[in-house]
Structure 1
């Protein structure tokens, strides 16, 4: 099994030791599509999967979810969260064993998710004391110094309810001088570039495990597509995700790396539990360079 670069107490210490600075943003990859982002006095948790619930659920089926990378931390030990997201209903993005401990340590914590899935999410999470906040494409929740906005995702289609609300979404997070895009699970679809390019994203977090119907799972961007989407949207940096979690549904990041190199797209490959830091220069509106690894 792969081991996180940082795990448990050392990872929690690294998270807690980050200074509060509006011109600095820190991010940790927690595995699959899970990321923790710290900026100023805020902590934003995106689509965490920090349990073995799927491994247990599918252990005796013809689609075993054999975990490849050890869990980097116990979700009950996270503190000071500002929000958490669930981009759609699939358990590796909306996991009761991850989210219920978080809710009990953060009563009233905002959970941003697609409106049509809220009844199913509430049934899954029981009496977990979240504040459920729906988002759909183009809908923004604004706070004093940060905002989060929904972006339609195709997993595999742009599924909507009878009110036109999307079942699968990504998120644009704006915090101080930084703009980030977390795609959730998505394929490339019409209008995605036109939606994303005006945001001028400093960082895009994109899946690379691809779309293979023989797996009997909904698909995602592959490595080449993720690199091309970041380039088309003029992202200053792109980080891949959604791999190295389950043996039946993973890839290596080499295709993504080669495509980024060919397109001259700045990128960074993270290990589970690794930190990425971006700085906003106080005298310029650019992110300090981050070299690919």
Structure 2
């Protein structure tokens, strides 16, 4: 949610995470959590999608990063596409994403307001990114990236100007990534249409964050609370739910293990996957 222009990015972990992802040969679909709301999905055919990768530091003292910077985007050479869910800095960010596009030749897919950020940040001027790598999507669109079939879906994030979500299918595995969505009436229809194996749901506490202009602390809810997170996964009829974003911003972090008590009486999600930055799970 910050808007600071970050200096040169230095990884706390060296290059082991991008090299690990590059070398991986999953049997089906592998998913790595990058912290915040970032993920890498890699299929058995070697195709990899990067969703909302962000390695910026935020806008201290308004937004303060609470987790390591797990990679330098200049170290990412193996990417086929980068997907952005909305225009906020921790989802569309030139210093985090443009070097990936430049080094890998990956395609970038995002809604109009996210593409406007690429213009404002001069991606094609300040990095070796070409205009034909940048693609606008909107709700109802479908696209394919090698073995991945991706549908662009409607989500509900009142803090964003044009958020979108993605239903991503690879073989028998289906993943929902809704960005920073809250519950939405249309999710029941998605749950009926798709057999969703894993739903990524942004989760966090309500906290006090300094206002962008006045810097006066404001009561802030950017992500689902426990009950809303379960409501999203239940409507989607997701077999598994993975809470994200809970680790990122000082004052808005949360304990994802609390979700165990919230999901236990519901049919969906059948399983709660709690991962930390850098972790891999397989579908």
Identify the TM-score tier after normalising by the shorter chain: 0.7 to 0.9
CA–CA separation in structure 2 for the residues paired with 1:254 and 1:89: 29
CA–CA separation in structure 2 for the residues paired with 1:12 and 1:241: 20
CA–CA separation in structure 1 for the residues paired with 2:26 and 2:65: 35
The match for 2:102 is 104
CA–CA separation in structure 1 for the residues paired with 2:187 and 2:43: 26
The match for 1:45 is 50
CA–CA separation in structure 1 for the residues paired with 2:114 and 2:276: 31
**Structure 1 residues 25, 216: CA separation in 2 closer, same or farther (over 3 Å shift)?**
same
Structure 2: which 5+ residue stretches go unaligned? 1-11, 210-217
Say whether 1:242 aligns with 2:237. Answer: no
Decide whether the 8 Å contact of 2:101 with 2:107 is kept in 1.
Answer: no
Structure 1: which 5+ residue stretches go unaligned? 1-5, 160-166, 279-293
Task: State the shift of 1:88 in Å.
Answer: 0.8
Say whether 1:25 aligns with 2:29. Answer: yes
Q: Once superposed, what is the RMSD of the aligned Cα atoms?
A: 2.4
| Structure-to-structure mapping, 1:162-201, within 5 angstroms | 167-201=162-196
Question: Among 137, 140, 145, which residue is 2:139 paired with?
Answer: 137
Deviations 1:68-124, CA, capped at 9 Å, x for gaps: 1111111111222110011111000011210122122123x2111112442332222
Question: Among 111, 118, 136, which residue is 2:115 paired with?
Answer: 118
TM-score, normalised on structure 1? Answer: 0.79
Decide whether the 8 Å contact of 2:31 with 2:42 is kept in 1.
Answer: yes
CA–CA separation in structure 2 for the residues paired with 1:249 and 1:8: 27
Q: Name the count of aligned residue pairs.
A: 256
Decide whether the 8 Å contact of 1:29 with 1:273 is kept in 2.
Answer: yes
Decide whether the 8 Å contact of 1:180 with 1:203 is kept in 2.
Answer: yes
The match for 2:235 is 232
Deviations 1:177-196, CA, capped at 9 Å, x for gaps: 21111111111122222134
CA–CA separation in structure 2 for the residues paired with 1:15 and 1:144: 17
TM-score, normalised on structure 2? Answer: 0.82
**Structure 1 residues 210, 190: CA separation in 2 closer, same or farther (over 3 Å shift)?**
farther
Task: State the shift of 1:232 in Å.
Answer: 2.9
Task: State the shift of 1:211 in Å.
Answer: 6.0
**Structure 1 residues 10, 145: CA separation in 2 closer, same or farther (over 3 Å shift)?**
closer
**Structure 1 residues 157, 189: CA separation in 2 closer, same or farther (over 3 Å shift)?**
farther
Task: State the shift of 1:270 in Å.
Answer: 0.2
Deviations 1:37-65, CA, capped at 9 Å, x for gaps: 1102101100011122x2xxx33xxx522
Q: Tell me the SS of whatever aligns to 1:263.
A: coil
The match for 1:276 is 281
